[in-house]
Amino acid sequence: MRPVFWALGALTLLAPTLAAGQDLSVRAGYGAPPAAEQLLAKIAEPTVMTIAADADPLERARLLCGRLTPTYLDLLNQANPGRALAPSTSEQQIVLPACFVMRPAATLTRLAEERLSDFAERVIGASGPRTLAHLQEDNAGVAVEATGKESGLKVRFSTEPVVYSLRGEAAADPNAAALALARAIGKQAALEPEAAATTRIDELSPSNGLFERKAVSCPTSLSATPDADWPFNTEAVLAALERNRQIRVALNMTLAKPVVVAVADNGVDQIGGANFPAAVFQDNDGEIPGNLKDDEPNGYVDDVVGVSLFQEGAAPGPAPLGAILQPEHGTLMASLALGGPDFRAKAPASADRVRLLIINMVERRKESVNLVNQERWLYPNKGLFEAIRFARKRGAAVLNLSVATSQLVTDFEEQARLDDQLVIVVAAGNRATQYRDVSLYPASYGGETSRIPGRFITVGASNRRGCLADFSGRGAKTVDILAPGVEISAYGLGGMRETLDGTSQATALVTFVVAVLKSEGLKSPQVIRDRLFATADQRPDLAPYVASSGVLDIVRAVNVLSDIVRRSGETRDSYMRLDQDIRLQDVCADADFNAAGRVLRIERFAGNPLLRVTWRKENGLRETFDCQAPDEAQTFSFSSLTGTGTLKLSDVALLIPR
């Protein structure tokens, strides 16, 4: 395990022997002197942020760091030479040096069993004489020892741990970097291995937040030419859905119907407008909008197209500009959960598979700081539990979550276990997190060996070449599949199209595909995971990073009523319906004839006489192995929309059973 180092102000010195790493987790107590701010900016990677036209760069910096000291303003100007840090008429990029995150606090709760030093340690990150003196000064008569009852204490600032990637010489010797920073803070400091944390323990952070980049190899054999059909070929997907419809009609099957997709985030802009018309939402017919009553009742007030969990009766729109980082995030996710702008522009009514249910998890808090009333907007961890509970009550089939927390939310787990049909699609995060080293939730629920196996799909990001994006979370035991997450276009605030990177974008695209699969009749999360894994564009070089060893192939995935075949020597897939199910003994000479399970994928590689078979065992775990076909000459009869025929096993390069 690679440790992450904490630099904490005003603690007793501990000096364990630490292994080398490349991350530094920083928490500065009640602040850091200028020398420490300057050193942190020197040794840690900065954040590069795109600022929209007319937006204030300093406000974005303030949202990142909590407060802007004179030293940090100097560093900000040095990092952006020749650029006026003021609103511009056009989009601009600014470089934000690493900072100690200090946010104005309020009257915070001191627990009954907490000594004053315990309280200070929990909310400030330091409990030295200077910190305690500030608390005693601001709270006259405060008891030093535990009082046995809860009370409120005024706090000037609270601090948050932030993980930064080290750069230059600091990356080569992180121990020395952490010690140097501790000395610069000017107090004795504790250095100890800890799990990475990007927010306070009681808050979520959007998975499109701070980026860290750790490059991975990308095979030179892959084309460097950008995919023209990015992030997917809309016409091919529409053709697949039409093929499914024709098969349903021919076989007298029930036609596909839209399903409810809950997007739990920070709200959606312009509900009812051109990009999000009323028809795309799952209306609650039993609720009378705007009367501030729970008409059904179901425990929620005015939950017509969704709910603002912590603002009773409010429409689930975004928080005000400047209140939170990335106020457009929820709008982008909803746009992509519908298939994205290009798909929506071309899709006929028969391809409309999603009904959105909007869940705004942002909480507005009014707090007093030094007798000055302030507003704070945040994502509390309890939003995870409240979001899944609301989604279940309103009949959602899919839940999109693109947020992260380092805290295990047990109530959320309990809700997830209650519904064995709800598919929860979550983002792997943009901190290049290696999930064998750290746990972040809900991403860590992905994988087949999860605490809640089969219910979650954790999504990483791929670039245009089909390789792991350098910022994407990774880990074959946790991250299930990659999906396009670079240069993804979607509707943001004000109806404007924005093109951004992130595992959030990849997650919303997978959410769209899962919704289509649900609408086509695939019910259980396990069957849907099987479909995504079997149809993925698989490559051995991705095996260390993602469980499926592959990238989402939307066109293959949604062809659910056809067996997908690629014949040897061909470059295009064929779609047919074989007249028999493919059994393990049909393709493996040494197969156990009594083995229970399901063949997911059969593949043949040039120069290899064996077939590679992916098999879902009866116990639910996947297994991939090579085997000799019992009879290469055996044939399978098939039918298609254009006729009938036979398929010889020796001609098969790829077969994905329906």
Asked if 8 and 29 touch (Cβ cutoff 8 Å), the reply is yes
Domain harbouring 552, CATH code: 3.40.50.200
Clarify whether residues 345 and 417 are in a common domain. Answer: yes
Clarify whether residues 332 and 421 are in a common domain. Answer: yes
Can you tell me the distance from the alpha carbon of 634 to that of 586, in angstroms, rounded to the nearest whole number? 9
Which pair of tokens denotes residue 319?
């928080």
Clarify whether residues 478 and 598 are in a common domain. Answer: no
Q: Is residue 502 part of a domain?
A: yes
DSSP structure class, residue 359 = E
437-453: pLDDT as tens digits: 778 899 999 998 788 88
Give whichever of 7-21, 441-455, 474-488, 589-603 has the largest mean pLDDT.
474-488
Clarify whether residues 466 and 431 are in a common domain. Answer: yes
Which pair of tokens denotes residue 297?
């009742």
Q: Distance of CA 46 to CAs 21, 98, 470, Å?
A: 18, 5, 16
DSSP secondary structure letters along 182-235: HHHHTS--B--EE---SS-TTB-EETTSS---------TTS--SPPSS-S--HH
Q: Is residue 535 part of a domain?
A: yes
Q: What is the pLDDT of residue 54?
A: 81
Of the listed ranges 349-358, 433-442, 572-581, 608-617, the one predicted with least confidence: 433-442
Clarify whether residues 324 and 296 are in a common domain. Answer: yes
Higher pLDDT, 452 or 27: 452
Q: What is the pLDDT of residue 481?
A: 98
Which one of 538, 558, 578 terminates a domain?
558
Q: Please report which confidence band the pLDDT of residue 384 belongs to, taking 50, 70 and 90 as the band edges.
A: very high
Q: Please report which confidence band the pLDDT of residue 17 belongs to, taking 50, 70 and 90 as the band edges.
A: very low
Q: What is the pLDDT of residue 248?
A: 95
Q: Is residue 226 part of a domain?
A: no
Q: Please report which confidence band the pLDDT of residue 16 belongs to, taking 50, 70 and 90 as the band edges.
A: very low
Scored b (16 or more CB within 10 A) or e, 527-558 reads bbbbbbbbbbebbeebeebbbbbbbbbbbbbb
Its domain, for residue 390, covers 234-558
Asked if 317 and 331 touch (Cβ cutoff 8 Å), the reply is no
| Residues 19-31, mean pLDDT to the nearest whole number | 58
Strand partners, 551: 482, 537
Of the listed ranges 35-49, 344-358, 474-488, 530-544, the one predicted with least confidence: 35-49
Q: Is residue 621 part of a domain?
A: yes
Q: What is the pLDDT of residue 50?
A: 85
DSSP secondary structure letters along 245-296: HHHHHHTTPPPP--EEEEEEES--SSTTSSSS-GGGB---TT--TTS-S-SS
Clarify whether residues 375 and 257 are in a common domain. Answer: yes
Clarify whether residues 100 and 110 are in a common domain. Answer: no
First to last CA, the chain: 41
Clarify whether residues 299 and 393 are in a common domain. Answer: yes
Q: What percent of the chain has pLDDT over 70?
A: 89
Asked if 353 and 362 touch (Cβ cutoff 8 Å), the reply is no
Clarify whether residues 111 and 56 are in a common domain. Answer: no
Mean pLDDT score of the chain: 84
Which one of 541, 558, 575 terminates a domain?
558
Q: What is the pTM of this model?
A: 0.71
Of the listed ranges 50-64, 188-202, 362-376, the one predicted with least confidence: 188-202
Which one of 558, 593, 620 terminates a domain?
558
Q: Is residue 69 part of a domain?
A: yes
Which pair of tokens denotes residue 79?
């990092």
Higher pLDDT, 17 or 201: 201
Q: Is residue 225 part of a domain?
A: no
For β-strands 4-7 and 193-194, DSSP reports them as: antiparallel
513-535: pLDDT as tens digits: 999 999 999 989 999 999 999 99
Q: What percent of the chain has pLDDT over 90?
A: 44
Q: Is residue 224 part of a domain?
A: no
Which pair of tokens denotes residue 497?
């199209």
pLDDT at residue 388 tops 70: yes
Clarify whether residues 446 and 583 are in a common domain. Answer: no
Q: What is the pLDDT of residue 28?
A: 62
CA proximity to 343, closest of 200, 455, 509, 502: 509
Number of domains composing the chain: 4
Clarify whether residues 100 and 112 are in a common domain. Answer: no
Q: Is residue 228 part of a domain?
A: no
Clarify whether residues 94 and 193 are in a common domain. Answer: yes
| Residues 86-94, mean pLDDT to the nearest whole number | 85
Q: What is the pLDDT of residue 488?
A: 94
